């Protein structure tokens, strides 16, 4: 999956450090990321690359994380036009580009800079927030309110009926993702993950489920979510009553006729779970 970047090492602990010229700069604009791409391989600019066009760039960068000891920074509030062979790539394209560890860096940085932008002003008093000096947080200098990164827990559900699995497609008005996937949804306040599974399955496809079992988790920065995968079995009738506002398709598939038009196995938890079912491992 996209977060499995070994032998590269991702270090997320916040550091109040100054950027160096050979650190990496993740530059975003309108949901796009600045990079070079050649034959599906991407390269992000180093700070020294951008300094040739914007000499004062070091004063405006913000620390995000490290990979293999190299700092990754973003550039809030600064418009950078494409230069040399660098151009803006839609963030959704990070699903397909390689190497995967750089795609992970790009989309993880996107989630962080989105949160920073949304936490610019205090939600209590409206005062402009300041960066915490010791942890990844924003602090209100007026009322003292502290805001931490927002991560949305959600579930991915493999619903089985003996040797069949239920696959769905999103309605066009609900998501731009068009391939087959599993039932999914966000947890509500005061709700356990297992209760989220029961509610989302009932809401989306009208089924009752039993024997809910945890599979694996995945950070999914494309939507700011922390995904928890579950496997469960249909309880009672397997007749589908689909929510056509959220879904365009909901169908049962056997292990020997799984669709080819489905989530990528190597990048997403959904894709891995569908492959595990096809291989007889679920």
The per-residue pLDDT for range 153-169, each reduced to its tens digit, is 999 999 999 999 999 99
For residue 50, the model assigns a pLDDT of: 92
- Residue 265 pLDDT class (50, 70, 90 cuts): confident
Query: For 152-278, CATH number?
Result: 3.90.79.10
pLDDT at 252 over 80: yes
pLDDT at 173 over 90: no
Mean pLDDT of 251-276: 92
Distance, CA of 237 to CA of 239 (rounded, Å): 6
Q: What is the mean pLDDT of the chain?
A: 94
Mean pLDDT of 140-145: 96
Q: Tell me if 10-118 shares its fold with 152-278.
A: yes
Q: How many CB atoms lie within 10 A of CB 20?
A: 13
Query: For 10-118, CATH number?
Result: 3.90.79
Mean pLDDT of 96-114: 96
Read off the pTM.
Answer: 0.91
Domain ranges of the chain: 10-118, 124-148, 152-278
Mean pLDDT of 109-130: 96
- Residue 78 pLDDT class (50, 70, 90 cuts): confident
For residue 199, the model assigns a pLDDT of: 98
For residue 172, the model assigns a pLDDT of: 81
Give the start-end residues of each E strand in 91-200.
Answer: 130-131, 138-139, 146-147, 152-161, 164-170, 183-186
For residue 264, the model assigns a pLDDT of: 78
User: Lowest mean pLDDT: which of 38-47, 105-114, 198-207?
Assistant: 38-47
19-23's contacts with Cβ under 8 Å and 24+ in sequence apart are 19/47, 19/58, 19/61, 19/63, 19/71, 19/73, 20/47, 20/71, 21/46, 21/47, 21/48, 21/51, 21/58, 22/46, 22/47, 22/48, 22/70, 23/47, 23/70, 23/71, 23/72, 23/73
Over the stretch 6-43, which tens digit does the pLDDT of each residue have? 999 999 999 999 999 999 999 999 999 999 998 889 99
Mean pLDDT of 164-178: 86
pLDDT at 180 over 80: yes
């Amino acid at each position: 999956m996209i977060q499995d970047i070994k032998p590269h090492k991702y270090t997320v602990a916040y550091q109040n450090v100054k950027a160096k010229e050979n650190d990496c700069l993740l530059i975003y604009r309108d949901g796009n990321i600045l990079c070079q791409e050649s034959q599906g391989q991407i390269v992000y600019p180093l700070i020294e690359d951008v300094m040739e066009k914007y000499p004062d760039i070091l004063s405006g960068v913000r620390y995000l994380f490290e990979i293999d000891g190299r700092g990754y920074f973003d550039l809030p509030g600064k418009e950078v036009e494409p230069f040399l062979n660098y151009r803006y790539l839609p963030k959704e394209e990070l699903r397909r580009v390689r190497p995967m560890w750089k795609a992970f860096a790009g989309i993880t940085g996107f989630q962080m800079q989105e949160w920073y932008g949304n936490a610019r002003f205090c939600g209590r008093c409206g005062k402009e927030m300041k960066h915490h000096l010791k942890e990844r947080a924003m602090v209100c200098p007026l009322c003292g309110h502290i805001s931490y990164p927002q991560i949305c827990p959600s579930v991915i559900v493999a619903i089985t009926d003996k040797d069949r699995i239920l696959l769905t497609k999103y309605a066009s008005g609900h998501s731009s993702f068009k391939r087959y996937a599993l039932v999914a949804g966000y947890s509500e306040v005061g709700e356990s993950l297992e209760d989220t599974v029961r509610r989302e399955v009932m809401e989306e496809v009208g089924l009752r489920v039993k024997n809910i079992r945890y599979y694996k988790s995945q950070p999914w920065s494309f939507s700011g979510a922390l995904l928890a995968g579950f496997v469960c079995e249909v309880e009672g009738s397997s007749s589908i009553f689909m929510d056509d506002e959220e879904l365009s398709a909901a169908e049962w598939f056997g292990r020997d006729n799984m669709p080819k038009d489905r989530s990528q196995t190597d990048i997403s938890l959904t894709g891995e779970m569908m492959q595990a079912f096809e291989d007889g491992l679920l």
